[in-house]
Structure 1
């Protein structure tokens, strides 16, 4: 291969590499912006981060506690986890984001949640959600939290029928 062909091949390789890095960085920023806006909306009572979930999203609560399990869809998560928790709260959970980190199609958010339970005791927890995105939707989440605090709420407070 002569020098001109080698230079041209190298230039094309750099263009493709640069485009892939640029596309990856754009996806990271777009996904981070979606998460940041979803938390802002949640703080303002205009929705939640759950609005970003794809219908077939897989949600895993890490650990080996009574509340640790895998939810096989958004509907499954909402019915078996979110609604039972919300039914025990006098106020909605108010989130405060501590940090958001993104790499490729993954966004990790560390946040605090505060609410008041129906028995007027505080429900305060710290969460770390590892979220995988595809086409602007969350397809998989692994949630880390103080499962003892959540399990205590679920055992201590009788739910209101919703």
Structure 2
């Protein structure tokens, strides 16, 4: 086989291997985005939440410098110190409405609005952007951006009835 033919064969092999890797990455991106979309649909229907996607050792960071801007070092930590205290102040569960979901590599970013009624009958409305990193089909890291003033106001204003 001539040098030119060997070079062409090598180039074709490289091209096919790059195409296979790109196809695999695209399939993973699509699968991760689908999981997030389905988790939000389930949440809207009262059949679970996005928190169901979290790995047990997931790290969740609420961005910012407010009193509610905290790093939670596990799913249990997040549920106990954030989700339960918030839920204990609400008369109705947060109803999510997804605005957009974008996936790239192992990251899914979702922009969504949440609405609920607090125990004092005032609305709790917030907008969230969650930057979620996946590994092996589970969310291992989240950075949550939201109006922390609105959340802090809820936590200060409303006394919890259950936790």
Scaled by the length of structure 2, what TM-score is found? 0.98
* SS class of match (2:114): strand
Report the counterpart of residue 103 of structure 1 in structure 2.
Answer: 104
Q: CA deviation at 1:84?
A: 0.3
Q: CA deviation at 1:160?
A: 1.1
Report the counterpart of residue 93 of structure 1 in structure 2.
Answer: 94
* SS class of match (1:89): coil
Alpha-carbon distance in structure 1 between the residues aligned to 2:42 and 2:162: 26
Report the counterpart of residue 138 of structure 1 in structure 2.
Answer: 139
Q: Structure 1, residues 10-30: CA drift from partner, whole Å, max 9, x if none?
A: 011001100111011101100
Count, aligned residues: 162
Across the aligned residues of Structure 1 and Structure 2, the Cα RMSD in angstroms comes to 0.7
Q: Structure 1, residues 53-89: CA drift from partner, whole Å, max 9, x if none?
A: 0000000000000000100000000000000000000
Alpha-carbon distance in structure 2 between the residues aligned to 1:60 and 1:20: 31
Kindly indicate whether residue 118 of structure 2 is the aligned counterpart of residue 117 of structure 1. yes
Kindly indicate whether residue 17 of structure 2 is the aligned counterpart of residue 8 of structure 1. no
Unaligned runs of 5+ in 2: none
Report the counterpart of residue 22 of structure 2 in structure 1.
Answer: 21
Q: CA deviation at 1:3?
A: 1.0
Q: CA deviation at 1:4?
A: 1.4
Alpha-carbon distance in structure 1 between the residues aligned to 2:20 and 2:94: 41
Report the counterpart of residue 47 of structure 1 in structure 2.
Answer: 48
Kindly indicate whether residue 161 of structure 2 is the aligned counterpart of residue 160 of structure 1. yes
Unaligned runs of 5+ in 1: none
Alpha-carbon distance in structure 1 between the residues aligned to 2:38 and 2:162: 30
Alpha-carbon distance in structure 1 between the residues aligned to 2:16 and 2:139: 30
Alpha-carbon distance in structure 2 between the residues aligned to 1:123 and 1:51: 23
Q: CA deviation at 1:161?
A: 2.0
Scaled by the length of structure 1, what TM-score is found? 0.99
Q: Structure 1, residues 115-140: CA drift from partner, whole Å, max 9, x if none?
A: 00000000000000000001110000
More off after superposition, 1-10 vs 72-81:
1-10
Alpha-carbon distance in structure 1 between the residues aligned to 2:126 and 2:39: 19
